[in-house]
């Protein structure tokens, strides 16, 4: 177990007083969750497990089972940490919300995964803008049990610290990689396409859309192509990138990105919905229902 960061002060939230340790780090105030909070967890957990059967990657579902998450109550980070630390050496830390970029990268580089301690309200079941406990815990944490993905996340954190030192363009390219893999990635198994991205697995609508809709493009993973591709933050993705295995992620992202950043910064970015002649296209999207602007 990593040493707890030094406690700095107490802050008052609408859940009562929460001890704060370092920038945004809090101890999970588990006793303060209301029956309504646990109920939101139960509803979302049950609904997503049903949607994800046969849709999420086998590894994701197996890992989620192995962690002992259940619909009964919001899991305790301290309980999950016992299993996670023994399995892959990752530790969950509670946070108020999004952290400054460099802090976030530093946590990942040290195998600490920040999890929002609060859960969305009942009227936010279908959609919430900010990452809450359900997205973080249900969506991100299971794959941290998988050694190869656990290593990818740590390498990403180190890459983030490095990109932060290089400059905003490098950071933007690295962020696109996170978006199109960790958040919205698809994986090809023997029996077809499955989901592993956390942004998808924590959303009922996008779980179905990403696999079954004709609208979005599904394109084979290509590191440099992804690093140039803009994305959506307010609608379903226009394009999903498909890996063949988690090992492919580690191998493709192993090389030093410094010369890649330098080379790609001279090239134009690619709109979220565009298909290039050089793409290995698995499904060309119809574009039905797409917004005409708003790519990030």
Task: List residues near ligand PHE by CB under 6 A.
Answer: 152, 155-156, 159, 162, 177, 253-257
Shortest distance (Å) from residue 265 CB to ligand PHE: 14
Secondary element (H or E) of residue 116: strand 112-116
- Taking CB within 5 to 8 Å according to partner kind, which of Fe ion, ligand PHE, none is near residue 232? none
Shortest distance (Å) from residue 177 CB to ligand PHE: 6
How far apart (Å, rounded) are the C-alpha atoms in residues 64 and 198?
A: 12
How far apart (Å, rounded) are the C-alpha atoms in residues 135 and 161?
A: 24
Residues that bind Fe ion (CB under 5 A): 131, 198
Find tokens 């991205």 and name the residue.
197
* Residues of the binding site: 135, 140, 183
Helix, strand, coil percentages for the chain (3-state, nearest 5): 45, 15, 40
Residue whose CB is less far from Fe ion, 51 or 282: 51
Q: Which residue sits closest to ligand PHE, CB atoms considered?
A: 159
CA dihedral 130, 135, 141, 144 (to 10 degrees): -70
Find tokens 């859940």 and name the residue.
15
Residue whose CB is less far from ligand PHE, 184 or 257: 257
Residue whose CB is less far from ligand PHE, 173 or 186: 173
- Taking CB within 5 to 8 Å according to partner kind, which of ligand PHE, Fe ion, none is near residue 156? ligand PHE
- Taking CB within 5 to 8 Å according to partner kind, which of ligand PHE, Fe ion, none is near residue 166? none
- Taking CB within 5 to 8 Å according to partner kind, which of ligand PHE, Fe ion, none is near residue 238? none
- Taking CB within 5 to 8 Å according to partner kind, which of ligand PHE, Fe ion, none is near residue 155? ligand PHE
Residue whose CB is less far from ligand PHE, 152 or 196: 152
How far apart (Å, rounded) are the C-alpha atoms in residues 90 and 200?
A: 22
Residue 174 token pair: 């690295």
Shortest distance (Å) from residue 239 CB to Fe ion: 18
Q: How far is CA 273 from CA 122, 142, 158, in A?
A: 33, 29, 30
Residue whose CB is less far from Fe ion, 143 or 227: 143
Q: Which of 279, 184, 173 is nearest to 233 (CA)?
A: 184
């Amino acid at each position: 177990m990593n040493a707890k960061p030094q406690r700095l002060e107490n802050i008052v939230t609408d859940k009562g007083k929460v001890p704060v340790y370092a920038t945004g780090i809090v101890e999970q105030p588990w006793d303060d969750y209301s029956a309504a909070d646990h109920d939101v967890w139960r509803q979302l957990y049950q609904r997503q497990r049903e949607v994800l059967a046969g849709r999420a990657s086998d590894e994701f579902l197996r890992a989620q089972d192995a962690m002992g998450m259940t619909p009964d109550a919001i899991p305790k980070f301290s309980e999950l940490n016992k299993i996670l630390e023994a399995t892959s050496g990752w530790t969950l830390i509670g946070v108020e919300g999004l952290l400054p970029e460099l802090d976030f990268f530093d946590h990942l580089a040290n195998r600490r995964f920040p999890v929002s301690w609060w859960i969305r309200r009942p009227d936010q079941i279908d959609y919430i803008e900010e990452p809450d406990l359900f997205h973080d815990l249900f969506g991100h944490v299971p794959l941290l049990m998988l050694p190869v993905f656990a290593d990818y996340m740590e390498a990403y954190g180190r890459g983030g610290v490095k990109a932060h030192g290089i400059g905003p363009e490098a950071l933007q390219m690295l962020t696109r990689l996170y978006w199109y893999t960790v958040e919205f990635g698809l994986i090809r198994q023997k029996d077809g396409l499955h989901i592993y991205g956390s942004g998808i697995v924590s959303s009922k609508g996008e779980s179905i859309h990403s696999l079954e809709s004709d609208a979005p493009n599904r394109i084979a993973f290509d590191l440099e192509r992804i690093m140039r591709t803009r994305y959506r933050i307010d609608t379903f993705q226009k394009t999903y990138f498909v890996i063949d295995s988690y090992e492919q992620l580690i191998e493709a992202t192993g090389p030093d990105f410094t010369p890649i950043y330098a080379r790609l910064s001279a090239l134009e970015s690619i709109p979220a919905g565009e298909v290039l002649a050089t793409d290995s296209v698995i499904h060309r999207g119809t574009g039905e229902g797409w917004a005409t602007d708003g790519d990030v």
